Amino acid sequence: MKIASIVGARPQFIKLAPFSREIRKRHREVLIDTGQHYDEEMAGNFFSEFRIPKPDHSLGIGSADHGEQTGKMLIAIEKVLLSEQPALAVVFGDTNSTLAGALGAAKLGIPVAHVEAGLRSYDSSMPEEQNRVLTDHLSRLLFCPTDAARDNLKREGIASGVHVVGDVMVDSLEESRLAAEKRSRILEDLKLRKKAYQLLTVHRPSNTDVKENLLAILEAIGGSKVPTVFPVHPRTAGCLSDYGLEGNLPKNIITTKPLSHMDTIHLVANSQKVLTDSGGLQKEAYILGVPCITLRETTEWTETVDVGWNRLVGADPEKIKEAISNFAPPHYRPRVFGHPGASERIAGIMDDFLSKG
Ligand code: UD1
């Protein structure tokens, strides 16, 4: 059978890698890359790091306002799907590439499978939340990482085609963790001692595009005096430059370019704490047993908060400082994201679905 996998942004390459390897054992995968992320550090390096095969269709859409970006993707994806006629289209996560892929396929009557279905932050102002809800309602197969995700879908009346399979990132994380232990030199390169630094990432428009929020976060972290590694996303780099902050950050903040997944995982695993507004990093910190301070008011990874390993602080400097000094999770850390092997479980369910026609 021919299966179209549609990706475009950095977190999707991470989720695609283990899935793609599994699905290629059983079917012909047609890989479509929208080009939402295009820099070497944001895209190219991930293809080589995860040994992802060259895309069959590189759409080269690139950056634009949300409507324009999603619209251009939809037009290009429809053309590819019309010529390829896959039996199933697979989308990952919650980016504009996810929604464009799901919408393009659904409008052509091609069944959609959503990997990482059912997540909700219940903050409808987030573009990712809009993408998640719409994608789930267009999907025939919904692969949930957790029971909470399944329950969210149930509340929206979606019960058919829903499968709790665990999280595909558990698979890629295990791979990157083992590779990192052997090969990552990032601690030596940045002259960091294990558990004597924290890791910071900020890229959500609600933090980067509001100058006061970005300033509040950086000043609060500066005040902590803890050495803080800060790989800077291109969106954030643009904002730092616009606000005159480039080269002007508190002395304990060590900036880097966006890093490989292997180096990121090595930094997470050996950090005191992670401070982030990313979804994926909240999950990775939890799986690796590192306390996470989330620079948002809401999260879609609610389990990590419920079990006391993740604290939501928004961009509030007092809450950030307090969490850096005092946040200490409990000893108990249940396996909420499931066991390795989610990709294999997903592929098996897809086989059943396809064999029923
Ligand atoms: C997107 C996703 C977000 C995800 C993030 C991971 C949406 C709505 N958002 O956000 O959910 O967490 O990817 O990184 O899909 N840029 C470059 N080079 C690149 C890519 C982007 O310089 O290779 C710059 C451009 O100025 C662009 C900006 O970054 O306008 C934002 O990129 P975009 O893909 O629109 O959104 P992200 O913030 O990366």
Go through the chain and tell me how many residues it has: 357
d(CA 91, CA 99): 8
- From the list 204, 185, 201, the residue with the least C-alpha distance to 95 is 204
For 173-326, which CATH class?
Answer: alpha beta
d(CA 282, CA 277): 8
pLDDT in tens, 90-100: 999 999 999 99
d(CA 320, CA 293): 8
Q: Which helix (H) or strand (E) holds 254?
A: strand 253-256
Q: Which residues line ligand 1 (CB under 6 A)?
A: 9-11, 36-39, 42-43, 63, 94-96, 127-128, 203, 233-235, 238, 278
> Ligand 1 centre and the CA of 37: distance in Å?
6
Q: Is the pLDDT score of 357 beyond 80? A: no
Nearest ligand 1 atom to the CA of 278 is 12
d(CA 294, CA 311): 6
d(CA 146, CA 129): 17
d(CA 92, CA 291): 26
Annotate 142-193 with DSSP letters as a single string.
EEESSHHHHHHHHHTT--TTEEE---HHHHHHHHHHHHHHHH--HHHHTT--
Using DSSP bridges, classify how beta strands 162-164 and 141-144 pair: parallel, antiparallel or unpaired.
parallel
Domain with CATH 3.40.50.2000 in the chain: 2-166+341-355, 173-326
316's torsion region: left (phi>0), alpha (psi -120 to 50) or beta?
beta
Contact indicator for 352, 249 with CB cutoff of 8 Å = no
Contact indicator for 14, 97 with CB cutoff of 8 Å = no
**What order do you get walking across the sheet with 162-164 strand by strand?**
57-58, 28-33, 2-7, 88-92, 112-115, 141-144, 162-164
- From the list 313, 311, 273, 303, the residue with the least C-alpha distance to 289 is 273
203 is annotated as an active-site residue: yes
> Ligand 1 centre and the CA of 234: distance in Å?
8
> Ligand 1 centre and the CA of 233: distance in Å?
8
Nearest ligand 1 atom to the CA of 8 is 34
Q: Is the pLDDT score of 128 beyond 90? A: yes
For residues 269-295, give the mean pLDDT. Answer: 97
User: Does the predicted TM-score (pTM) go above 0.75?
Assistant: yes
Residue nearest to atom 14 of ligand 1 (CA): 10
State the catalytic residue, choosing from 203, 233, 261, 266. 203
Residue 27 backbone dihedrals phi, psi, to 5 degrees: -140, 175
> Ligand 1 centre and the CA of 276: distance in Å?
16
Q: Which range among 150-159, 175-184, 292-301, 343-352 shows the weakest confidence by mean pLDDT?
A: 175-184
What is the widest separation between alpha-carbon atoms in the chain?
61
Residue nearest to atom 7 of ligand 1 (CA): 95
> Ligand 1 centre and the CA of 163: distance in Å?
29
For residues 181-194, give the mean pLDDT. Answer: 96
The residue assigned the tokens 């047609």 is 30
Label residue 316 by pLDDT band (50, 70, 90). Answer: very high
Amino acid identity for residue 212 in this structure: E
The pair of structure tokens assigned to 118 is 């059912």
pLDDT in tens, 209-263: 999 999 999 999 999 999 999 999 999 999 999 999 988 999 999 999 999 999 9
- pLDDT, mean over the chain: 97
224's torsion region: left (phi>0), alpha (psi -120 to 50) or beta?
alpha
Residue nearest to atom 30 of ligand 1 (CA): 63
pLDDT in tens, 167-180: 999 988 988 898 89
Q: Is the pLDDT score of 39 beyond 80? A: yes
The CATH number of the structural domain formed by 2-166+341-355 is: 3.40.50.2000
pLDDT at 298: 97
Tell me the CA distances in angstroms from 149 to 19, 139, 143, 158, one per residue in order: 20, 15, 9, 11
Label residue 198 by pLDDT band (50, 70, 90). Answer: very high
d(CA 61, CA 56): 15
Task: Compute the half-sphere exposure of residue 242: CA atoms within 13 Å on the CB side of its CA.
Answer: 13
Which residues, at least 6 apart from 339, have a Cβ–Cβ distance to it below 8 Å?
A: 166, 170
For residues 276-303, give the mean pLDDT. Answer: 97
pLDDT at 175: 83
